[in-house]
Structure formats: C-alpha cells, structure tokens
Amino acid sequence: MKSVRFYILIISVFASQVLFAQVAFKTAVSKSNLGVNQRFRIEFSVDKQGADNFKPPSFSDFKVVGGPSSSVSQSWINGKASYSQTYIYILEPKREGEFTIEPASIEYNNEIVKSNAVKITVSKSVEIPKDPNNPEYVAQQNIHLVAEVSNLNPYVGEGIYVVYKLFVSQNIGVNDWRVTESPQYNGFWNQDIEVTELNAQNGKYNGEDYRFLVLKRAVLIPQRAGELIIEPMKMDFSVGIPTGRGDFFGNMITRNISYATQSAVRKVRVKALPELGKPIDFSGAVGEFEFQVSADKNVLNANEAAQIKVEVKGSGNLKLFEIPKIVTPAELEAFTPEHKEEVTTTLNGLKGSISDAYTVVPQYKGKYKIPEVTFSYFNPKEEKYHTILAEAVFVEVTEGKDLPSSANDTAGSFKKNVVANGNNFRFIALETKFEPASKKEFLHSVEFYLLLLLPFLVIPIGILIGKKRAKRAGDIFGNKIRNANKLARKYLSEAKKQLGKKEAFYVALEKALHNFLKAKLQIETSEISKEKIAELLQNKGIDAVTINEFITVLNDCDFARYTPTTDVMMKNEYEKTVEILTEIDKQL
C-alpha cells in the first residue's frame, strides 16, 4: 500500500513539473544599479502563445515614464518554432534605496503563472557620461527647461514674476511633452497668467542659437521675509535623436527616446519692509497707488441716499491689504460697504482699482462732515513710505426734520434776569433731627461668617473650572473643529440672514463660498471656473468627496434661483454648506 502511495506522489510531482515547464515567464531589467536621476527598462516575457490576462506588479517606488508597450517575436529555425511576447515599461526611481519589484502574473491554460522578482539598487544622482553616441546625453545637452525670475531680492509684498521657457536646439526634435509636476510657490501669493498660444521663437541659450517656447507664466507676491524657494517644474519628453545614418532617400534616421528634465530650484531672498518711517496706519500696501474719497451727491433731502466711495487704484499688491474705513456722524446712517475689485494680472503685477462704496442716509436737516482719511503705502522703487490725505467730504441736507436737540438749544440761548425775593433761601434747613444709629455689630454676624467662608467655596469651584478649561484646551482636534465651524458660520452669516428669501439667499451663499476660498487660497475665485477651483482644492490636499460636495453647492446656487425652493430646502442647503466649509478648513 505504501509503495502505491509513493508512486502516486512521484507521478503527481512529475505531472506538475511538466505542466509548469510548458511556459516560461521571466522578468528582466536593463540595469539593476542606477542613480536616482536615471531610468531603466523592465521587460516581462512569456514564451508561449495563448497566455493572456497579464497583470504587472505595483511600481509604488517608481514612476512609470513609458509604457506599457508590447512586442511579439516569432521564428522558425531548422524546423523548430519559437515564440515570445514581451511587455515593456520604462521606470524612474522616486528616491534612493534598495527596492524589490514583485513578480508579474499571466494566465495560461487556466493556470496563473508568475515571473521572477527583481531587486533594484538606487544611489545618489550620477553624472551622465559625456558620450556623443549616448541618446540620453544628447538630449541633456540639447533640451533645457529654464525658470526666469524677474527679481530675486524683492520686498515683502512686492510683485515679481516667473516665466518657464523650454529651449530646444536645432539638432533634435521634440515630438511630445507633458508636465509631470507643477512648481510650488510656498510663501508667495501667486496667480497664473494664461499662455494662450505656444509659438516657437528664436533665442540664445548660453550664447548658442536655440528655439524656445514660453510654457507657463505666474505673478508672485512674497508674504514673508527671508529665503523663499520656487520649486522646480518637471516635464517628460519624447525626443527624436539623430543616429548619424540616413535612409534610402538621404533623410536622417532618428531614434525616439523618453527623456525627463526639470527647471532649477530658484531661491528668492525677500527683504522685510523697513521699520524706519513706517506710518501708524500702514496696512501692508506695497506698490504705486492713488487714493481718494468722493460722494456722488453733496446736497440731498432727508431719507435720500448718497454713496461715499473710498477707492485705491494703481499697481501693486491690490488684493492683499485693507482699504481705510470712513467715520460718519451719528446723524448719517451708514450701511455695510459694497466691496468691488477691478484688477487685472500682468507680468508687471496687479493693476487696477479696489473700492468700498458706503450707502449713507441722513435723518435730519443740516450740514455734515465726513472727516479726512489717510492711506499709506510703501513704494519699493523709491524704498520709502508715502501717505495720501483724502480731504473731508461734506454732505448738506436741505430738507427734512430738525435735529431733536436744536429746539432746546435755541430756547436755552435767551438770557433771563434773575429776580431776588424773600423766598430764595427757604429751602435751607435751620433745624436738625438725629436718630441713634443701630447698635448691631458686624463682628460675629451672619454676613461676617458668610464673607469668611466665601474664599473656601470659591477655590474648589475655580479649580474645577480650570481643569475643564485645560481639558478643552488640550482637545486639539475638537478645538480645530470648533474654530472651523465658527469660521464657516462667519462667512455664511449674511446667507443666514436671508433664509426664506430665495434670490437673496443663494446670492449671499455663493458670495460666502467665494469669500471663504479667497481667504484660504489667497486668490479671487469668483473669476475662475469650477474646474479650476476643483483643481486648486485638490492641489491643497482636499479629498475628492469634499471637493465634489463643494462644487455641487456652487451649482445649486446657480440653478436654485430659477427653480421652486422651499424654506426647508434653503435651511438644509445652509447646514450642508457649514459642514463642507468646516471640513475644508479642517483639511487645510
């Protein structure tokens, strides 16, 4: 019986070996030791026709810069057929270290077959050999991605710009490219300037003739002093490298390769604004500005509205400081100002105007003065501060009720003669009536003992309150949630006031959403598309679900104005928006 089992085992092992010998599935790499700035080729080859459902391994430690592509090879030599199908990837390491690429898998005759694992060792960046026959060296010498910065030593708040140019020599051709990593501007307020057309121009790079394209432009305004870094822009290319050989017609034969490059890291040393001569009312305006306060009406009737406009115009960091406020007399009822921005972005910075328009309604007849207002700014070209004084504005109300106090003042302005008579001093008391004071002593009284015991009652209560506050202060996550919720409700306060008024509610809600993003992202989101907003939020690390909910609310604001809406629906929309803004603030 034992011998039968032994033979069955031998037959089973032999059959399994024959089965797996039917197909060979191998992994091969072009190099297993490389620098972090190099790439390598990995191939998965199967030698039997009919193998399918190929599944590559996870390249988590590498970036796939080429592939997948496949090739099939068949031959018949001396009556013997051979077959090979290969799956090809081009990989680039993300960091230094030793990594294992796990096996790929493929299905053959209803069995899953796996290839072998390979180990890759990645070292520091290596210098590419100066070999004119090396395609990668040729690409490196003929393709240059350059970040040009207008000013590497600006003041805080002074606008600069960065332009990304791609220089390509006349010797090679770039067939395709894509941006793999956009530059980061940490410490800068930034806004892209759209490049509408990619027109090739002739220029010089290191004294040699090149063609170049302007790929990207952005305006940057530093927000703090010190050294700020402009991170590199990274790109992948498909490059045609001349082989030095010609075809039948004499045309140069080129070899296409994948090539990656990046712009250099640019360091900007930002100067702090000088403290010497800084005006007390300086609010951070940097540039060249004009300032004025004006009224659309200087003469009006009571209860007739006038508009007082406070305007700053010029060039500089227009969106990054507050406009001075005006102070109106108590007799002029002033409403919350309407803020307006007419700003364009150019390579020279932000240009245009920002203004606050106050609607004032007088209640009484008279002439009222709105006092002078000052505005201070720093001019980086002159390296000094300027202060502009806007003259006082006078509003005269010709018709309406008199001030309530005016009649009393008029009556009091007439003098009367004082007549003395015998009764003038009759209120002076000539006799006194004293009564004995209470003989009750404070010492040992009920009040005495209450005051004596009061500190012993207050101390335990104070300790309990202190522990509760310390526990609340230690709840960092809870405090963040509470602060985020307060911030969301702050921006939505106007929308809450308009609950029940469909048109006004959704206008206020949409404005609150844009103002929230403006405060968090430091850009004017009301001027850009929802797709761009989604992209900006994604770049800030907001998860996809929250972004979709935010965009949904924006869309609701557009459509709800033209569809039937109930008070309950508006209240639910408000609560939903509070939750979304709270979540965005928490993730930021």
Question: Tokens 């990046």 sit at which residue?
Answer: 262
% of residues, the chain, pLDDT over 70 = 78
CA distances from 152 to 158, 270, 522, 562 (A): 11, 8, 22, 51
Topology of 18-123 in CATH?
Immunoglobulin-like (2.60.40)
Region 114-138: mean pLDDT is 79
Say what the pLDDT of residue 347 is: 76
d(CA 305, CA 453): 62
Structure tokens at 102: 């796990």
Say what the pLDDT of residue 162 is: 94
Count CB atoms within 10 A of the CB of residue 520. 17
| CA nearest neighbour of 560 among 501, 516, 514 | 501
Say what the pLDDT of residue 518 is: 72
Say what the pLDDT of residue 374 is: 93
Say what the pLDDT of residue 157 is: 92
Say what the pLDDT of residue 452 is: 74
Say what the pLDDT of residue 413 is: 39
Residue 117 contacts residue 100 (beta carbons within 8 Å): yes
Region 394-412: mean pLDDT is 63
Residue 67 contacts residue 102 (beta carbons within 8 Å): no
Main-chain phi, psi angles of 272, to 5 degrees: -75, 150
For the chain, the straight-line distance linking the first and the last C-alpha, in angstroms and rounded, comes to 73
Topology of 287-397 in CATH?
Immunoglobulin-like (2.60.40)
How confident is residue 417, by pLDDT bands cut at 50, 70 and 90? very low
d(CA 240, CA 230): 30
Say what the pLDDT of residue 412 is: 39
Return residue ranges of the chain for CATH 2.60.40.10: 18-123
Question: Which of 160-169, 178-187, 274-283, 490-499 shows the lowest per-residue confidence on average (mean pLDDT)?
Answer: 490-499
Residue 380 contacts residue 286 (beta carbons within 8 Å): yes
Region 191-197: mean pLDDT is 85
Question: Tokens 């009750």 sit at which residue?
Answer: 440
CA distances from 285 to 93, 202, 349, 533 (A): 45, 39, 13, 27
Per residue in 165-178, pLDDT (tens digit) is 999 987 787 877 88
Question: Tokens 């007390």 sit at which residue?
Answer: 280
Omega prior to 68 cis, within 30 of 0: yes
Does the structure show a pLDDT above 50 at 17? no
Say what the pLDDT of residue 363 is: 78
% of residues, the chain, pLDDT over 90 = 21
How confident is residue 407, by pLDDT bands cut at 50, 70 and 90? very low
How confident is residue 511, by pLDDT bands cut at 50, 70 and 90? confident
Return residue ranges of the chain for CATH 1.20.120: 476-587
Per residue in 21-58, pLDDT (tens digit) is 477 888 998 888 888 878 788 889 888 877 778 889 98
Q: What DSSP designation does 380 have?
A: T
Whole-prediction pTM: 0.52
How confident is residue 357, by pLDDT bands cut at 50, 70 and 90? very high
Cα angle for residues 493, 498, 499 (degrees, 5° grid): 100
d(CA 95, CA 62): 8
Does the structure show a pLDDT above 90 at 570? no
Strands (DSSP E) contained in 194-346 are: 201-205, 208-222, 226-230, 234-246, 252-262, 266-270, 287-295, 299-300, 306-316, 332-334, 338-346
Question: Which of 133-147, 258-272, 445-459 shows the lowest per-residue confidence on average (mean pLDDT)?
Answer: 445-459
Structure tokens at 169: 């020599």
Element (H, E) at 532: helix 530-539
How confident is residue 79, by pLDDT bands cut at 50, 70 and 90? low
Does the structure show a pLDDT above 90 at 164? yes
Does the structure show a pLDDT above 70 at 530? yes
How confident is residue 149, by pLDDT bands cut at 50, 70 and 90? very high
Of 351 and 539, the one with more pLDDT: 351
Element (H, E) at 92: strand 80-93
Per residue in 434-464, pLDDT (tens digit) is 566 555 566 667 777 777 777 777 787 877 7
- Classify residue 515 as exposed, middle or buried by CB count within 10 Å of its CB (0-12, 13-18, 19+): middle
CA atoms within 13 A on the CB side of 55: 11
| Rounded CA Rg of the chain | 39
Element (H, E) at 121: strand 118-123
| CA-CA-CA-CA dihedral for 87, 93, 97, 98, to nearest 10 | 0
252-262 vs 234-246, strand pairing mode: antiparallel
Of 265 and 9, the one with more pLDDT: 265
Say what the pLDDT of residue 434 is: 58
Say what the pLDDT of residue 486 is: 59
Does the structure show a pLDDT above 90 at 388? yes
Question: Which of 208-222, 479-493, 543-557 shows the lowest per-residue confidence on average (mean pLDDT)?
Answer: 479-493
- Classify residue 220 as exposed, middle or buried by CB count within 10 Å of its CB (0-12, 13-18, 19+): buried
Question: Which of 46-50, 215-219, 339-343, 440-444 shows the lowest per-residue confidence on average (mean pLDDT)?
Answer: 440-444
Region 342-354: mean pLDDT is 86
Domain 135-270 grouped into CATH 3.40.50:
no
The letter for the amino acid at 309 is: K
Of 117 and 475, the one with more pLDDT: 117
How confident is residue 270, by pLDDT bands cut at 50, 70 and 90? very high
Region 409-423: mean pLDDT is 43
Q: What DSSP designation does 401 have?
A: B
Say what the pLDDT of residue 415 is: 39
Instruction: Return the sign of the alpha-carbon dihedral for residues 16, 21, 23, 25.
Output: positive
Residue 359 contacts residue 336 (beta carbons within 8 Å): no
Residue 240 contacts residue 143 (beta carbons within 8 Å): no
Cα angle for residues 580, 585, 588 (degrees, 5° grid): 125
Residue 56 contacts residue 87 (beta carbons within 8 Å): yes
Report the top-level CATH class of 476-587: mainly alpha
How confident is residue 246, by pLDDT bands cut at 50, 70 and 90? low
Say what the pLDDT of residue 419 is: 44
How confident is residue 266, by pLDDT bands cut at 50, 70 and 90? very high
Does the structure show a pLDDT above 70 at 131? no
User: pLDDT averaged over the chain?
Assistant: 79
Cα angle for residues 329, 335, 339 (degrees, 5° grid): 120
Residue 505 contacts residue 570 (beta carbons within 8 Å): yes
d(CA 533, CA 573): 20
Structure tokens at 192: 């892209």
* b/e 65-103 (16+ beta carbons within 10 angstroms → b): bbbeeeeeeeeeeeeeeeebbebebbbbbeeeeebebbb
Count CB atoms within 10 A of the CB of residue 203. 12
How confident is residue 222, by pLDDT bands cut at 50, 70 and 90? very high
Per residue in 281-334, pLDDT (tens digit) is 899 999 999 999 999 888 887 778 889 999 999 999 998 898 999 888 887 888
Does the structure show a pLDDT above 60 at 343? yes
Of 274 and 134, the one with more pLDDT: 274
Say what the pLDDT of residue 130 is: 63
| CA nearest neighbour of 156 among 389, 387, 377 | 377
* b/e 531-565 (16+ beta carbons within 10 angstroms → b): eebbebbeeeebeeebbebbbebbebbeebeeeeb
Say what the pLDDT of residue 587 is: 78
Instruction: Return the sign of the alpha-carbon dihedral for residues 186, 187, 188, 190.
Output: positive
